[in-house]
Amino acid sequence: MSAPRQLKLGAFLMATGHHVAAWRHPDVPADAGLDFQHYKHLAQVAEAARFDALFVADSVAAATGEQASRMARSDHFEPLTLLAALSAVTDRIGLIATATTSYNEPYHVARKFASLDHLSGGRAGWNLVTSDAAAEALNFGREAHLGHAERYSRAREFEQVVRGLWNSWSPDAFVRDKASGRYFEPGKCQVLDHHGEHFQVKGPLNVARSPQGYPVIVQAGSSETGRELAAETAEVVFTAQTSLADAQAFYRDLKNRAARLGRAPEALKIMPGLFVVVGASRAEAEDKFAEFQDLVLPEVGIALLGRMLGNFDLSGYPQDQPLPELPLTDSGQQSRQRLLTQLSREENLTLAQLGRRIAGGRGHFSVIGTAGDVADQMQAWFEGEAADGFNILVPHLPGGLEDVAYQVVPELQRRGLFRREYAGSTLREHLGLPVP
């Protein structure tokens, strides 16, 4: 008899927290972005709660300018460096880092993540993204991003090359036989010799096959092109969905696309973002969230909105008027632009109200209430085939993560929806994914 299906949980760490004004709160260390002890505490809290993985996003540009100067988003650790350090102070929890295909080379990414997988004993995951922050292009010899279609074409080939490099060596290739003098078996090395539209890579990789076969591949795109790439290549998909019905439709669509490509449904885990504020009562949770909302300057919320809509400058539009009609972004996330535009229309929000509305969850589904309220929503989405698990976002760190670990997780465990102990030691084992 197979074990009952259980939720997968990721802890999405963003320095001071996901709320744009979190750094201003008295309970939040404003310098958290460069405080390793802060991250060490977060990692150990999440591991003690038996989370599947930590997730760290990234941008290869510093946010600058007047509005950016009011956000804690311009100084933070490079994710792979941070997760390598965290691998030494944790034992089981997965370690997922973002690395863009727009401004990296496949060999570098393959080598770094294979190294992290070895360092951590098989706990690495790569969040494959195409860059959407406009400023990143200026740091890599370009005036603007590649167009949306070309970015995804490059990403698809990039992933193929990385996967090919991870397959450079058979698991038993390195015999290291001192008596015979043979370090590796030449016949157990596969030279990639890739020649494509975007890359030419000879190989092989100078890292042995990693403990998981290769690190878990994660993606976050929800546009049509992004869904196709995810169905072809991803093992975990992070997504932003605002309602149970939308999440169910996305879930069915991704699983069906994967099935048409010959992939088993369980080989693709779908984990929507879930923004959580926990209180002993709903009123307490709402009061807690209101403390953060009161710290949001209107111009900061609007600046965040413009960035998330696809790198638009909205500073010249009236704050008390609806979101203006905007062209489809070619440099940003098209799926997030559609989601936020729909949210603005459905709730009839002004520009300032929409900026304030997304200041915490950034368009992700939000639950503000007791641990039971949060568990109820998670259970409904999980059992309603809208999610295989969730990537948890909290307004502030460390307090928000501690609330989830100490209050929500025990409630999920009581309901039999989440593990009490790790059954395996690798990220693939936690997620129930096969070794390639």
pLDDT digits (tens, 9 = 90+) for 374-420: 999 999 999 999 999 999 999 999 999 999 999 999 999 999 999 99
Element (H, E) at 99: strand 94-100
Asked if the structure places residue 167 within a domain, the reply is no
Same domain, 222 and 354: no
Same domain, 277 and 325: no
User: Exposed, middle or buried, 72 (CB in 10 Å: 0-12/13-18/19+)?
Assistant: buried
Same domain, 327 and 272: no
Confidence of residue 144 (pLDDT cuts 50, 70, 90): confident
Residue 384: give its domain's CATH number.
3.20.20.30
Token pair listed for 374: 């949060």
Question: Percent of the chain having pLDDT more than 90?
Answer: 71
Same domain, 15 and 90: yes
Same domain, 365 and 352: no
Q: Is 391 helix (H, G, I), strand (E, B) or coil?
A: strand
Same domain, 335 and 275: no
Question: What pLDDT shows up at residue 186?
Answer: 96
- Average pLDDT of 191-206? 98
User: Which of 20-34, 57-71, 186-200, 213-227 is modeled with the greatest confidence?
Assistant: 186-200
Question: What pLDDT shows up at residue 332?
Answer: 62
Same domain, 122 and 80: yes
Closest CA to 201 of 168, 152, 153: 168
Token pair listed for 210: 């990693």
Asked if the structure places residue 178 within a domain, the reply is no
Confidence of residue 331 (pLDDT cuts 50, 70, 90): low
Same domain, 219 and 324: no
pLDDT beyond 60 at 1? no
The string of pLDDT tens digits covering residues 273-306 is 999 999 999 999 999 999 988 888 777 777 777 7
Same domain, 373 and 354: no
Give the predicted TM-score (pTM) of the model: 0.90
Residues linked to residue 305 through DSSP beta bridges, in sequence order: none
Asked if the structure places residue 207 within a domain, the reply is no
Question: What pLDDT shows up at residue 177?
Answer: 97
- Average pLDDT of 92-102? 97
Q: In angstroms, what is the C-alpha Rg of the chain?
A: 22
Same domain, 20 and 125: yes
Token pair listed for 219: 């993606």
Asked if the structure places residue 305 within a domain, the reply is yes
pLDDT beyond 80 at 136? yes
Q: How far is CA 402 from CA 4, 45, 63, in A?
A: 27, 7, 29
Asked if the structure places residue 65 within a domain, the reply is yes
- Average pLDDT of 213-235? 91
Higher-confidence residue of 117 and 350: namely: 117
- Average pLDDT of 124-150? 89
Q: Which residues contact 287 (CB under 8 A, 6 or more apart)?
A: 279
Range of the domain at 328: 297-358
Q: What are phi and psi of 390, to 5 degrees?
A: -140, 145
Question: What pLDDT shows up at residue 221?
Answer: 74
Total domains present in the chain: 2
Question: What pLDDT shows up at residue 392?
Answer: 98
Q: How far is CA 401 from CA 75, 80, 104, 233, 308, in A?
A: 21, 21, 31, 30, 24
Confidence of residue 73 (pLDDT cuts 50, 70, 90): confident
Asked if the structure places residue 181 within a domain, the reply is no
Same domain, 110 and 75: yes
DSSP structural state of residue 179: T
Same domain, 48 and 117: yes
Question: What pLDDT shows up at residue 2?
Answer: 61
Q: Are 359 and 235 in contact (CB under 8 A)?
A: no
Question: What pLDDT shows up at residue 123?
Answer: 98
Asked if the structure places residue 265 within a domain, the reply is yes
Using alpha carbons only, what angle is made at residue 16 by residues 366 and 425, rounded to the nearest 5 degrees? 80
Q: Which of 43-52, 134-143, 349-358 has the lowest mean pLDDT?
A: 349-358
- Average pLDDT of 76-86? 97
Q: Which of 358, 373, 389 is the last residue of a domain?
A: 358
